[in-house]
């Protein structure tokens, strides 16, 4: 339940809070749809990045929900349950580990993205994939912080 004194009509707490700025909300949702529709990255990879961000930021609503695109792509609850152990879990492959390392650096301190990490990312991903990934992380991070700050 948000601490805002007024809310907009809406089915969810997010709709009620973000809906206070309907034009911005609609464009943000369009941006989210664009992220998930982009063919550059596997939905499973996007979802583990999104969930990791939700955990780091401490955003419960984003942690609890599942993106339908990732579920349809076969992401399991077992894999999600081991997300905190991604560096050593056999459920995560090399590409997913790189994405999660980059995601954590982005969220915690963007200056902590090292040249060595960038070199490994460039070995595994195309520039188009890395561009799409970074935009996706930015969108997920923004949503997690918005919801956390406003209890939306």
Residues that bind other proteins (CB under 8 A): 21, 23-24, 26-28, 30-31, 34-35, 38, 40, 110-111, 115, 118, 122, 127-128, 130-132, 134-135
Minimum CB distance to other proteins smaller for 97 or for 120 = 120
- Least Cα distance to 9 among 80, 126, 18 occurs for 18
Minimum CB distance to other proteins smaller for 62 or for 129 = 129
Residue 147 C-beta: closest distance to other proteins, Å: 17
Residue 149 C-beta: closest distance to other proteins, Å: 13
Minimum CB distance to other proteins smaller for 83 or for 144 = 144
Q: Is the dihedral of CA 68, 63, 97, 108 positive or negative?
A: positive
Phi-psi region of 151 (alpha: psi -120 to 50; beta: other; left: phi over 0): left
C-alpha–C-alpha distance, residues 21 and 44, integer Å: 30
Residue 26 C-beta: closest distance to other proteins, Å: 8
C-alpha–C-alpha distance, residues 84 and 65, integer Å: 17
């Amino acid at each position: 339940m948000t601490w805002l004194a007024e809310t907009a009509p809406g089915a969810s707490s997010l709709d009620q809070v973000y809906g206070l700025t309907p034009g911005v909300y609609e464009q943000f949702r369009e941006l989210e749809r664009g992220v998930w529709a982009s063919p550059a990255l596997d939905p499973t990879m996007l979802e583990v990045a999104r969930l990791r961000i939700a955990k780091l930021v401490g955003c419960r609503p984003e942690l609890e929900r599942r993106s339908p695109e990732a579920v349809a792509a076969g992401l399991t609850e077992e894999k999600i349950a081991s997300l905190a152990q991604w560096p050593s879990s056999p459920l995560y492959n090399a590409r997913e580990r790189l994405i999660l390392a980059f995601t954590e650096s982005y969220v915690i301190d963007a200056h902590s993205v090292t040249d060595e990490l960038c070199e490994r990312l460039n070995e595994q991903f195309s520039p188009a994939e890395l561009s799409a990934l970074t935009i996706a992380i930015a969108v997920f991070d923004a949503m997690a912080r918005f919801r956390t700050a406003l209890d939306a």
